[in-house]
Structure 1
Amino acid sequence: MPSLAHMPAQRRREVALSIFSRFTGQNAVLVLLTLLVGTIAVAPLVRLAISALFDGDGFAVERLTKLFSRPQTSAALVNTLIIATLSTIASLVIGVVFAVVMVFTDLKHKSALVFAFVLPLMIPPQVTAMAWIQAFSPSSPVLGMLGMAMEPGSRHPLYSMTGVVLLLGVYNAPLVYLSLQASLRRLPLNLAEAARAAGASPARTVFTVLLPLARGGILAAASLSFVSAIGNFGIQAMLGIPGRVPTLMTQIYQQVNNIGPSALPNMAMLSIVLVALTVTAVLMANWAASRADTRIDLGTNRLTVALGVYTWPVMILLWGYMIVSLLLPLSALLQTSLVPAFGLSLSAETFTLKNYTAALFNQPILRDALKTSLWLTSVSVVILTVIAVLLGYFLTWRKGPLVRVLQFCTDAAYALPGVSLGVALILIFLRPLPIFDVSLYGTAWIILVAYVAGFFALALRPVLSGYQQIDRNLEEAAQVAGASWGRRMVEIIFPLVAPAATASAILVFMSAINEIQTSIMLISSSARTLGPMIIFLEDGGASTLAAAVGCLMVLGILAIMLITSIFSRYLPERVLPWQF
């Protein structure tokens, strides 16, 4: 074979392009994605395990024995399990009932009901907790006007384990609905018709025939709710800390903040326990679902029960739930934001916009936090959208051991709670990076890494759904015609998957702009984000300012949801959670 030096210029260019394509083709991209995803998803788990289990002298038997013999640790573990279990039961009851009504009845205005039901899930949990605290406090502006407020000086009912369970149950109920409604839609009409022909009532048909067939979806919904309850720092912190109900989440946060880096090895161990709980919940749900024999002949239609005389009672019940769970807390939050001091009744004399003026213009800390959150969220959205589009191609259309590794990594990313991820990133970046001698700890860059790692699974799901709806014939035809993989991705695949990628970007933006689970562990005086500011303001006694910030957060989320809903016809069907 002649050397490159003796080849004609045109031939040299062809050989160079061939070599370049080998290193920039889909195999090279697959390897790079594997390294990137492994770094994002697996490295934090490995770092947690090393710090948790080993000290300088080897396996940390003595330290771990002391940690788990402490009453505080056992109390936090027991409380975490009780809260997650009971709140999951509450979420299942609410979510299953709502899903059954939405899927199997002829109730009107379902789109509005679904939008209102899912809205609390889009609101940051710390804002939800603050709204509920103000709505049911002795100085509640709403209940006060109705003469139903508690006596001044009485203990707040939500500062208790019951309060944490109740609020987590309500907060995670939309997760149950979103997970279950797809399973219910796939159930066959022929089985329902057979049950009706045998004399079963519509209600009996639903609860004895259709719901048992959907038990796999119910178990998956329970798993999601359990994992979400364990990892919901905002509600656990705002209700559990003042109510003296310790959980693993709040104990990790308080120990790291009160003791400092010396507490990290023990908190890494508690983080591993959190990860073990979430992984166990997912594996148990998958195991139970795999043992359920639900092999059925799917139909194209589904049962529709005519409510008849029960239409108005059902409508009143559902909208009454929306008023109590959504409108009442948000109205209390709004009223608190419009008075100069917490506890004052809203009137013409007490009405003021100074809290909003302060939040938008007069508080440099809030302004800097908003700017930091905006650029971190925007950069994260771009990075995650690109990764999700590339990775979705391989997970959907490529098989092999490397793809199975990628699938494992994506599952691992979902299993890591936010606070645990924060502890892992502190351990990884506490010391300066080798070679570069640069420390990311205490800077906004470590939060960016956290956003990319924490929202990786969320960004991937809509994109995978979009790939499943694509006909691959165009891409295969272009491949036969000689188009390179990169050209096929740019000119064919990306335009087809762009709507799903857009939905993915929207969901990541809405989740990251107010994120608190991980950033609460990573913010510093030079790198603040918007999400944790609610807790800091509330703890500092600035309840009216915190209420104004919370209202602005809700308004921003609501605006994004409404605008996206208007243009939803350009997106894949039901890729947005609030679509019916």
Structure 2
Amino acid sequence: MALVVFIVLFSVLPVGRLLLAAFDDGLAGFWQVIDAPDVWRATRNTLVVALGSGGLAMLVGTGFALVLSVTTIRAATALAFLMVLSLMIAPQISALAFKTLFGPASPLLKLAGLAPAPGTPNPMLGQFGIILVMGLHHAPLVAITLASGLASIPRPLIEAARLEGAHPRQVVAWILLPLLRPFLLTAALLVFVAGAGNFGIPAMLGLPVGYVTLPTLLFRKLASFGPGGINDAAAISVLIAAIACAGVLAAGAVLARATNRLEADHRLEPFWELGRWRPVVEFAVWAFVALTILLPLASLLATSLVPAYGVRLSWASLTFAQYAEVLFRQDLTVRAFRNSTLLAGGTALSLAVITLVSAHVLDRLKPKPRTLAFALIELPYAVPGIVLAIACILLFIKPLPLIGISIYATPWIILFAYHARFYAIALKPVLAAMATLDEAVQEAAVCDGAGLRHRLRHIVLPLVFPAVFAGMLMVFLLAFNELTVSALLWSAGTETLGVALLSLEDSGLGSEAAAVAVSATLMVLALMLAMQALARRLPPDALPWQALAGRGQRRS
């Protein structure tokens, strides 16, 4: 019963309310909203950046997955960790990092004497920059998806090909890639969906030059016209959700067929001995990581250490004043750090309890009801965050029935949206851990008369606590830097870090925005390191960078 309540509350009600508002005037009214020049233009831009960034993500992600999984490259875990770190960093922070790196005011380019002339347009603003940053940001999604496919390929198949004299290059081309075809298609669909629903990167790099995608169009329409245009916003939200859900459903169907076909008793291990080429390959991979991940972050750090954006970094100009300003003195940022910490922490703690109960129930359901229940749980995470925000506004803009209290324009609406958004993320590791438990232990407790609450608290929780804690950290990590949902749900006094960062950048306070971004990135790094410390107590591949590096694989 509890599981049904959670699913109805966090999935069915928001999505159902969105659909009712979108079709309030029937199909004719829905089409009238959609059939507008600005919507078609934004749709075209959305498809262009989703396809372009998806192609780049496929190229980069596939290369990384193969290098880390099949070659004897060293420090694979460190490379995978940095790769996933770039994904876990908020999209708007990645966009800001590239924006500060390549503009004429770039402190790093000025330090190297390579800065463009003042007044030169920033090449990151517009379609090219959005595609580049979004492609690099989503490349780890491709790599993680392909890593799961590589893990399912039987090792004896590769060993047989090698014994027959096949070169590693031939094994990759003739065996691995054909077997990975469903996973490649799945990865392509996932990055397309992620690109179509991304708000942070187009907001940072597109809105300043008038390049509008569907998520940013939705943001502008609601910000300009307020709650009065909510039905129009709902119609556009359904269009975005339809694009996203079509991709997610197709990806799920392809992946289900692939996992049914490939079952590995012996996990794939690196078989491509690089020999004398290993230093060259390692230099190339680390150089790429440095240029696409570390250098933009270094630019962000440099921007935060100068008194104003555009000042040349030197020992004379070096200052930590921006950090003192955003962490201790400026009301907006201090409040944003507090709000994000409380909202993310509250969501993580309550979802720990909810997922423990949910996983216990799901683990005992038959396959078909379990699949349906998890699909409904995953729905609010599958749709773009800005669509979920519109659904929450529609659901709570009027006072709640019976009690007559409205949570609209309060922190509670953001908290509700975070629960709906990250429910599936918190549930996955707990469900995986629950599947490994020995049923005899709980059956013995039932025979002794122990109730459900006692069993969950004293038997199940101690056994699955590492997975519960990992889920909590993952939820906190994602919610702490979240922008897409809170961009439409915040009100005066409830600003989150994502909102504060966007506001500072819009106000021309680039150094302060960079200081906020660096502080948030350090928080993400600390949480990922804490999760790494738990790695040995978690189910296999529970951490994405462990799955990408190939836990248990031999590295020479």
TM-score (norm 1): 0.90
1:135 and 2:105 matched? no
Cα RMSD (Å): 1.9
Matched residue, 2:15? 45
Matched residue, 1:278? 244
Matched residue, 1:457? 424
Matched residue, 1:330? 297
1:245–1:213 distance in 2 versus 1, CA, 3 Å: same
1:101 and 2:71 matched? no
2:92–2:200 Cα contact (<8 Å) kept: yes
Amino acid at match of 2:16: V
Higher alpha-carbon deviation: 212-221 or 248-257: 212-221
Higher alpha-carbon deviation: 469-478 or 324-333: 469-478
2:34–2:236 Cα contact (<8 Å) kept: no
1:423-468 Cα deviation digits (max 9, x unpaired) = 1111111112222221111111111111111111111111122123
TM-aligned CA deviation for residue 405 of structure 1: 4.6
Q: Secondary structure at the match of 1:341?
A: coil
Q: Secondary structure at the match of 2:209?
A: coil
2:218–2:236 Cα contact (<8 Å) kept: yes
Distance (Å, rounded) in 2 between the aligned partners of 1:429 and 1:578: 38
Alignment of 1:135-534 (within 5 A): 135-289=101-255, 295=261, 298-303=264-269, 304-399=271-366, 403=370, 405-534=372-501
| Alignment coverage as a number of residue pairs | 546
Matched residue, 1:24? none
Higher alpha-carbon deviation: 384-393 or 411-420: 411-420
TM-aligned CA deviation for residue 299 of structure 1: 4.0
Higher alpha-carbon deviation: 559-568 or 304-313: 559-568
1:319-374 Cα deviation digits (max 9, x unpaired) = 11111111111111111111111111111221111111111111112111222222
Amino acid at match of 2:4: T
Q: Secondary structure at the match of 1:455?
A: helix
Distance (Å, rounded) in 2 between the aligned partners of 1:230 and 1:154: 29
Distance (Å, rounded) in 2 between the aligned partners of 1:404 and 1:178: 22
1:213–1:294 Cα contact (<8 Å) kept: no
Distance (Å, rounded) in 2 between the aligned partners of 1:405 and 1:179: 22
Q: Secondary structure at the match of 1:355?
A: helix
Matched residue, 1:552? 519
Higher alpha-carbon deviation: 417-426 or 148-157: 148-157
1:114-172 Cα deviation digits (max 9, x unpaired) = 11111111111111111110001112222223333223212211112121111111001
Distance (Å, rounded) in 1 between the aligned partners of 2:51 and 2:144: 19
Distance (Å, rounded) in 2 between the aligned partners of 1:378 and 1:347: 38
TM-aligned CA deviation for residue 222 of structure 1: 2.4
1:157–1:163 Cα contact (<8 Å) kept: yes
Q: Secondary structure at the match of 2:73?
A: coil
Unmatched runs of 5 consecutive residues or more in structure 2: 550-556
Distance (Å, rounded) in 2 between the aligned partners of 1:403 and 1:321: 42
Matched residue, 1:25? none
Distance (Å, rounded) in 1 between the aligned partners of 2:263 and 2:348: 41
TM-aligned CA deviation for residue 205 of structure 1: 0.5
Higher alpha-carbon deviation: 81-90 or 405-414: 405-414
Alignment of 1:7-18 (within 5 A): none
TM-aligned CA deviation for residue 38 of structure 1: 1.4
Aligned structure 1 segments of 4 or more residues deviating by more than 4 angstroms = 289-294, 400-405
1:393-439 Cα deviation digits (max 9, x unpaired) = 22222228764552231132232211011111111111122222211
Amino acid at match of 1:393: H
Matched residue, 1:11? none
Distance (Å, rounded) in 2 between the aligned partners of 1:108 and 1:469: 32
Matched residue, 1:34? 4
Matched residue, 1:13? none
Higher alpha-carbon deviation: 139-148 or 387-396: 139-148
TM-aligned CA deviation for residue 291 of structure 1: 6.0
Distance (Å, rounded) in 2 between the aligned partners of 1:200 and 1:402: 45
Distance (Å, rounded) in 1 between the aligned partners of 2:497 and 2:259: 47
1:85–1:481 distance in 2 versus 1, CA, 3 Å: same
2:429–2:471 Cα contact (<8 Å) kept: yes
Amino acid at match of 2:350: I
TM-aligned CA deviation for residue 531 of structure 1: 1.7
TM-aligned CA deviation for residue 565 of structure 1: 2.1
Distance (Å, rounded) in 1 between the aligned partners of 2:475 and 2:403: 30
Q: Secondary structure at the match of 2:307?
A: coil
TM-aligned CA deviation for residue 187 of structure 1: 0.8
Higher alpha-carbon deviation: 227-236 or 492-501: 227-236
Matched residue, 2:554? none
Query: Which structure has more RCO (C-alpha within 8 Å, separation ≥ 6)?
Result: 2
TM-score (norm 2): 0.94
Higher alpha-carbon deviation: 332-341 or 486-495: 486-495
Q: Secondary structure at the match of 1:397?
A: coil
TM-aligned CA deviation for residue 529 of structure 1: 1.4
1:35-63 Cα deviation digits (max 9, x unpaired) = 221121111111111111113xxx261x4
Q: Secondary structure at the match of 2:363?
A: helix
Distance (Å, rounded) in 1 between the aligned partners of 2:289 and 2:474: 23
Matched residue, 2:530? 563
1:42–1:413 Cα contact (<8 Å) kept: no
Distance (Å, rounded) in 1 between the aligned partners of 2:172 and 2:440: 40
Task: State which structure, 1 or 2, has the greater radius of gyration over its C-alpha atoms.
Answer: 1
1:404–1:578 distance in 2 versus 1, CA, 3 Å: closer
2:409–2:489 Cα contact (<8 Å) kept: yes
1:190–1:299 Cα contact (<8 Å) kept: no
1:309–1:537 distance in 2 versus 1, CA, 3 Å: same
1:73-110 Cα deviation digits (max 9, x unpaired) = 00111111221122122111111111111111111111
TM-aligned CA deviation for residue 293 of structure 1: 9.8
TM-aligned CA deviation for residue 67 of structure 1: 2.2
Distance (Å, rounded) in 2 between the aligned partners of 1:156 and 1:367: 30
Distance (Å, rounded) in 1 between the aligned partners of 2:339 and 2:72: 47
1:407–1:118 distance in 2 versus 1, CA, 3 Å: closer
TM-aligned CA deviation for residue 176 of structure 1: 1.4
Amino acid at match of 2:363: T
Unmatched runs of 5 consecutive residues or more in structure 1: 1-30
Matched residue, 1:54? 24
Distance (Å, rounded) in 1 between the aligned partners of 2:254 and 2:538: 34
2:418–2:479 Cα contact (<8 Å) kept: yes
